Amino acid sequence: MSTGIRSRRIDVRVTVEQDAVIREAAAAAGQTVSAFLLSAAEGRARAVLDERRHLVMSDRAFAAFAAALDDPSEPVPALGELLSLPRIHRR
Amino acid sequence: MSDPSLVALSAEHDLSGFDCGTPELDRWLIDHALASQKADLARTYLVLDGGSVAAYVSLTTGSIRPEAAPKRYARGMPRYPIPTILIARLAVDRRHQRQRLGSRLLAEALRLAVAASDTAATRLVVVDAIDDRAAAFYRRWGFIDVPENPNRLFRKIGDIRNSSP
């Protein structure tokens, strides 16, 4: 999935049973244990991050939500107040 | 607080003492923010007061989509996910809390989101509130709950643009 130099290590201790099941699954998938662990963990990691970034709605809620976005934008007093606070200047 | 400044995170910043009271947000800044930035997964901006980090915000992109597979989309329903700019994390160090610094940083984050949308159009800003208290903070500034997604709130980029004084 990723390219780049593998310059970091992650050490994980496993039980005898976990070691056996992972080795068997890696062999079944035709991968080395290290490639198997890496692809499984990276896939899971990306799924967890995606879950936070990408939101899902029921079809009915999404249709109403998307339609409401076409309403004209209007000034929001609370946002106006927020944007009137003293600036934090870029450096 | 004297005159704080906003800077893009870089390797030169010492993040180690950051303490906002929520360990998850501290650990992310200290352990992951720079790696996420290098991998183009998130951009982090720091509020510096003197030499120390008083607050941070991280921005990334996201989307909102319906759960159905595309072929099942109802007629007339938008067929594509709605792209969003996501304010993924915003935290203020304990020593700088209760001075409206978080609100001022939110305002700067919204300006960054509008600028990003000026370059590559995005319709929405979504915020990921870490708990109910954070969600109340965003509601107080005019954010609206995203249906069916607890502690996610949004506002249209156009609303933010039109609310600028």
Contact A54 B142 (CB under 8 A): no
| Coil, helix or strand at residue B112 | helix
Give the residue on B whose Cα is nearest the Cα of A63. B77
Burial of residue B17, with CB atoms counted within 10 A of its CB: 0-12 exposed, 13-18 middle, 19 or more buried = exposed
- Whole-complex ipTM: 0.92
Q: How many residues comprise chain B?
A: 165
Contact A88 B5 (CB under 8 A): yes
Mean pLDDT computed over every residue of chain A: 90
Give the residue on B whose Cα is nearest the Cα of A86. B104
For residue B163, list chain A residues with Cβ-Cβ distance below 8 A. 75-77, 79-80, 83
Nearest to B124 by CA among B105, B103, B147: B147
Active site residues of B: 138
For residue A66, list chain B residues with Cβ-Cβ distance below 8 A. 77-78, 82
Homologous superfamily of B5-65+80-163: Gcn5-related N-acetyltransferase (GNAT) (3.40.630.30)
* Whether B66 contacts A63, CB under 8 Å: yes
DSSP B9-57: --TT---TT---S-HHHHHIIIIIHHHHHHTTS-EEEEEEETTEEEEEE
Contact B88 A85 (CB under 8 A): no
pTM for the full predicted model: 0.85
Token pair for A27: 């062999």
- Of the candidates A55, A59, A83, which has its C-beta nearest B64's C-beta? A55
**In this predicted structure, what is the pLDDT of residue B74?**
57
Contact B66 A86 (CB under 8 A): no
> pLDDT 10s per residue in chain B (165 long)?
578 999 999 999 999 999 999 999 999 999 999 999 998 999 999 999 988 999 999 999 999 999 875 555 556 666 689 999 999 999 999 999 999 999 999 999 999 999 999 999 899 999 999 999 999 999 999 999 999 999 999 999 999 999 998
Q: In the beta sheet, which residues pair with residue B92?
A: B55
